[in-house]
A and B are shown apart, each in its own frame.
Chain A
Amino acid sequence: MDFDFAAELPKLVQLLIGVAAFLVVVAVILLLVDRAPMRRRAWIHATILLLPALLFLAIGLVVPAVRTTLLSFLSGDGKEWVGLDNYAWMFTQPEAVTVLRNTLVWVLLVPILVTSVGLVYAVLVDRTRFESLAKSLVFLPMAISFVGAGIIWRFVYAYRSEEQDQIGLLNQITVAFGGEPQQWLQEAPLNTLFLIVVMVWIQAGFATVVLSAAIKGIPAEIVEAARLDGASPLQMFFQVTLPSIRSAVIVVLVTQSIGTLKLFDIVRTMTGGQFDTSVIANEMYNQAFRYGETGKGAALAVFLFVLVTPIVIYQIRQRREAVR
């Protein structure tokens, strides 16, 4: 497609006008703030500068949240009041329950696996000669999008029948050891675990980097004192390292929990939610946008919101304590 500059000109002019208008508004606001009486300036500053943000927050977050909640009590076409039917569907219909079960498995396993893999890795490479190389290697997958990772791992799990050449790494290994090629992504409930591996692969680098930094932050005196007291490496790890980096571990656990709850890309790219692998976010998209069942989609969204809330509150509390 060729870009016709002349044809797009009106849009560009509009864009310029928009940017100019924005600058003017900001300038006027700043000028007004500057003119305000000295005594109340701080208060007025705060109000004026926060107002746009609050406004956008209301439009972009509060209004949709309220609307979604309302929609979750309506029928698929948003015309009839159905009460709690959509929620009843979510907790009784076997396929929907499978979705909830899968999400639970994800949110239990991923944060724990990511944190433990990251932690063990960070401890193992700590102060070795190859530390930075090892850390870059494990951090590399972070640079790949979830969709990209999903496609890569689909090839790893790819299946070809026995008489054909295997194109999937995992099946090639299986065949090399005399096994039969397996349809890894089609056998529930194992397939969910195979998807979880992908998430851990992507996220372990993040955990490694954060935890490694925390480990390096442990005061040298403590480590030395423990050594002098004759602590074994295991005692070192459980009684010195782990307690000292507790807050970093919690940060990793919390961010991973939230990220996992809203997981969508990996499942959608790799199985599309088939073979009992769907999770809440994927099902929400399907119901609301593909099937036109906005009520059910909204109910799932509300439920997801309810699940994330306590984790977010916990995180905020942790931050506050850390600041104190």
Chain B
Amino acid sequence: MSLLSRPRRTALVAGTMGLALVVTACGSTEPKPSAGGGASAAPECAAFSQYGKHEGKTVSIYSPIRDTEADLFEQAWKPFADCVGMKITYEGTGEFEAQIQVRADGGNPPDIAFFPQPGLLERFAKAGKLKPASEEVKKLTAEGWSEDWAKYSTVDGVFYGAPLGASVKSFVWYSPKMFTEKGWAVPKTWDELMTLTNTIAGTGVKPWCAGIESGDATGWPATDWIEDLMLREAGPEGYDDWVSHKTPFNDPKVTAAVDKVGAILKNEKFVNGGYGPVKSIASTAFQEGGVPITEGKCALHRQASFYANFWPEGTKVAEDGDVFAFYLPGNDPAKKPVLGAGEFVAAFTDRPEVQAVQAYLAGAEFPTTRMKLATYVTARKGVDPANAQNPIDKLSMEMLQDPSTVFRFDGSDLMPAAVGAGTFWKGMTDWINGKDTKTVLDYIEASWPKS
């Protein structure tokens, strides 16, 4: 279950429905494709001439992204599809992880799948089900993304597909208004953050609120916490070793990171603003996790950029608005590693029209179009952050595109699914529910697949 897409697919409904409606209305004015190749002569189609003609061809896409965001995707690539003459059938599902396996095993895979977890992509690549990406896609990826990103969809030296959307996870949401009223400052280091936490607790308000309930995927927001802390405590290399299991899961370094998170999440004085004792974190839906900030019941909520979609209607997301986010600080203010996630466009077939779609999605044109419609973030260079729909999207894009940013992909998405989508989530839920760090980490370590 993607940490990026899960919220995204349920998201937006409230926040951007209005926007989507407006855009749909505008969309109706776009030129209708005439029969045959006539449409390609239209000037709007000149931009797509490089992708060739694929009259009457159909490309199927299967993805975990649903609802409003799926509609926005379809809207964004419609001009492309019309101009090259193909039909793109899109299917979003809430059961992507299990169903993509069933479809691939059943000999009925889609042409293209959006994989939110590199770990899952790797499983299909190793099983020989995926087709390597074309030279064109490779070239576009090299030009648009940093090497880190390209690495995530490369398995045994073979490159399978370009990244698509992205999100930044290392954010702490807060209320600028509340901070100004109480005279609190945005912390620059971890120590400052803990001092601030204590200060807030002193005023009788629970400083943090959190929610990790997410149906099948319950627990993932807690794993994000651990990943962020691992990235800060062990450094990017230490993080990589942990993710690739060179460092065992019950290593003292991991224990230290988990306990550092525990100092906040498992402290009754610090959590869970508006919802109850520590254990209520496990039963609070992650979508509702940060909402008490708007009611003044808590002050801080660590959650990704996409949380912008979950604030109650009418909440202004801005530096001087009702809510905004700051970078989750580490020990050294000079180093700012960023934790994030995204999805990857990999193909099960390599027909020319499928490769054309992959190439189109890898270019700068698609994310720009998509971003103009509603909230969206991509790590692709050459996409102007000015097109972003809210300040957090803009900030995220600037962070992702900054060459000096040390970026790391969400660790649980990189680990084998048995851990990354299984015991890690479950373990962190048990941990919140009262189990001690050692028991939980030993359990996760024992579940790491041997082969």
Contacts and interface: CB of A to CB of B under 8 A. Distances in A.
Interface in B277-327: 277, 279-280, 282-283
Nearest to A291: B418
Interface stretch (A74-82, A133-141, A222-230, A246-254): A74-82
Nearest to A85: B450
Contact of A274 (B102, B126, B429): B429
Interface centre among A75, A80, A185, A293 (most CB of B within 10 A): A293
B8 to A, nearest CB: 20
B417 interface: yes
Given A75-B451, A272-B215, A292 B102 contact: no
A24 B66 CA distance: 43
B126 A185 contact: no
Nearest to B276: A161
Dominant SS among interface residues on chain B: helix
Interface string A247-287: 00000000000000000000010001111100000000111
Interface in A43-80: 75-77, 79-80
Contact of A80 (B416, B418, B451): B451
B433 A186 contact: yes
A124 B448 CA distance: 55
Q: Which 5 A-B pairs have the closest CB atoms?
A: A161-B276, A289-B98, A291-B418, A291-B422, A75-B451
Contacts of A79: 451
B429 A162 contact: no
23 contacts: A77-B123, A77-B451, A95-B423, A159-B276, A159-B283, A161-B275, A161-B277, A161-B280, A183-B283, A185-B283, A186-B282, A272-B215, A274-B218, A274-B219, A275-B429, A276-B430, A287-B418, A290-B98, A290-B421, A291-B416, A292-B418, A293-B418, A293-B449
A290 B446 contact: no
Contacts of B451: 75-77, 79-80
Nearest to A293: B418
A51 to B, nearest CB: 26
B417 A292 contact: yes
Interface in A151-199: 159-162, 164, 181, 183, 185-186
B292 to A, nearest CB: 10
B216 interface: yes
Interface string B316-345: 000000000000000000000000000000
Contact of B443 (A80, A94, A292): A94
A76 B418 CA distance: 9
A185 B451 CA distance: 35
B101 interface: yes
Contacts of A289: 97-98, 101-102
Contacts of B127: 77
A232 interface: no
B380 interface: no
Contacts of B446: 93
Interface string A278-314: 0000000111011111000000000000000000000
Nearest to B426: A274
A162 B443 CA distance: 33
Contacts of B216: 268, 272, 290
Interface residues of B, number: 36
Contacts of A77: 123, 126-127, 451
Contacts of A293: 418, 449
Dominant SS among interface residues on chain A: loop
A274 B219 CA distance: 10
Contacts of A93: 446-447
B450 A75 contact: yes
A291 B102 contact: no
Contact of A290 (B126, B417, B443): B417
Contacts of A287: 418
Interface string B87-102: 0000000000110011
Given A76-B449, A77-B451, A183-B283, A162 B418 contact: no
Contacts of A268: 216
Given A95-B423, A161-B274, A161-B280, 13 more contacts: A77-B127, A79-B451, A93-B446, A94-B443, A159-B283, A162-B276, A186-B279, A272-B215, A273-B426, A274-B430, A289-B97, A290-B216, A293-B418
Contacts of B283: 159, 183, 185-186
A287 B419 CA distance: 11
A159 B280 contact: yes
Interface in B402-451: 416-418, 421-423, 426, 429-430, 433, 443, 446-447, 449-451
A292 B101 contact: yes
Contacts of B282: 186, 274-275
A77 B123 CA distance: 9
Contacts of B433: 186, 275
Contacts of A181: 276
Contacts of A291: 416-418, 421-422
Contacts of B280: 159, 161, 183
Nearest to B100: A289
Nearest to B123: A292
Contacts of A161: 274-277, 280
Nearest to A268: B216
A285 to B, nearest CB: 8
A2 to B, nearest CB: 14
A285 B120 CA distance: 17
B426 A292 contact: no
B417 A272 contact: no
B276 A95 contact: no
Contacts of B422: 286, 290-291
Contacts of B120: 292
Contacts of A160: 276
A292 B416 contact: yes
Interface string B105-126: 0000000000000001001001
A275 B430 contact: yes
Contacts of B98: 285, 289-290
Contacts of A95: 423, 426, 443
A183 B283 CA distance: 8
Contacts of B447: 93
